[in-house]
Structure formats: structure tokens, C-alpha cells
Structure 1
Amino acid sequence: MNACAACGVKLFFPSEFALVGLSTGEEKNAWTTVEDVARFVPYILQNVPVEQLKNQKLRIEGDRKSFNEFVSIWERKHRVKLDVKYRPISELHKRISQDPSDHEAAIGREMFSGRAAEGPISSSLFLGWNPKSLEKAI
């Protein structure tokens, strides 16, 4: 990777780019690795009676941290200082009102509003559930 960076290749690490947070960055978000989701779903389908799952929302959560906590963990773990800028979440509301199919804005609004981390999580359905923490994942 050092040779790539020396040649000017962008490595797509946040340290090479400014990060943009919406709102204050203090709202909690649910962080879950793809691997944890891939373990959770088959386990539930194989071990939980269908009657118990019918018409239920399953919330899978590995860790609950804010955007600012993510930035702090990244900086500490990778020994870098990130350039973080904040913009109002109203920008996402405006994008969605202009284009209801703007999924990027809709997902961002849920994440940065804190709504993605609301409600009960379904981890009790998975005996011994031990998802990766955000710190381990990044």
C-alpha cells in the first residue's frame, strides 16, 4: 500500500478525504458488519419458529455508536486526524422531497437522525450472539 500511495494512487481511506457528517454527529446509529448479518439471518431462519417471526421486524445491531464516536475510533485506531465537516440534515429532507426515490438520502436521513438505532433489537433470538464491535470492524 505504501508503494501505491507513493505513486499517487488514492487508497479510498477516509484519511485521504474529508468526511461529511449531517446534523451534529451525536445521534446514535446501528453499526453491523455484513458478516454478522450473514451469520444472524440463517441462524434465525433455522432456529426460531416461523410463528415467532411472522409479521415481525428484526433489528440486527452489532454496535451502537454516533458518527462522532466512529470518527474518534478511526482516528485513534489508524493514528490519523480526519477532516470532518458538518452539514444540516435538512439537506437530506430537501433531496427526499424533490425525489422520493433518492435512496441514498433516505438511508442517510435514518442514520444521521438516530432513527436507525431506535427500537428493540432482536439479538435475544440468537443464543450466544456476539457481533463485532465498530472498533474491531474498522
Structure 2
Amino acid sequence: MTENNNQKVPMNEEQLNQWQRECLANAQKFLADKGVIPVSILEKECRILPPLCAIWKIKGNDANTYWVITGRLPTDAVQVGAAESARDVLRHFSFQWQLKADNIMANKPVDQTQVDFANLLVNRAHGIYELFENEQLWANVAS
């Protein structure tokens, strides 16, 4: 759903496809910026949860495979060994982001940007943990 004048309006198919393409492009760019060129996407294991996030399983040119999360949250990646499934990787990122936020605040941030980023991490960590816990989202997903 997209927000329009504070009302939730369902995305039409074109908007959903555009959002998904943008999320995938962001995931690929994120890995490329880390020196990993995406080679293939393991589509069966990816999960698209519009409008909040998309979870991609991407093989890189470095012989590693990565989970990458994109959407209305910080883009992040981890090697697949950190989580068995897209659902599990949500829990992983939730915990990691809370730890990152704690570290930022423990180092007494010098500017408001750092404080805002720490708050964003905590907010999004809670949001993706709620997605992780939502049994309805995962009911039709083979383990």
C-alpha cells in the first residue's frame, strides 16, 4: 500500500512492479558498493512485502550468497549463513539494528543525524520483528 493524504491506498500492479524493481536495483547497488557483483537472484527464496521491505537472496561473483533487505528501511546485507530463510533474516536484521543503535548511542553521538539514524534503526528493527512474528505472512511458505 502507498500512503496518499494519510490514507492507505492499495498499490496497483504497475506501482507494485516499479517498487519491486527499485528495491532489487537498490539491493544490487548495495552489494556492488561493497565490491560484490550480483550474479543471480534465487527468486524462490526472496520475499516481497510491499510497501515496507523486500528480502533478496543473491549470489555474488565472490562465490558467496547474501540476504539483502531493501525498502522503506536501511538497506543491509548478510551472508546466507546468518539465517536459513527470509523470515529468519528479518529476525537477524532486527537484532543487528538494535545493537547498532545501542552502539551509536553508547558512543555519545556528536550530531543529531547519528541520533536520528539510531532512532530509525530501532523503529525499523521493531517493525521487521513484527513481520517476523506475523504467522499469517508465513503460513504458505515452505520451510
Q: TM-score when scaled to structure 1?
A: 0.25
RCO comparison, higher one (Cα < 8 Å, 6+): 1
Q: TM-score when scaled to structure 2?
A: 0.24
Higher Cα Rg, which structure: 1
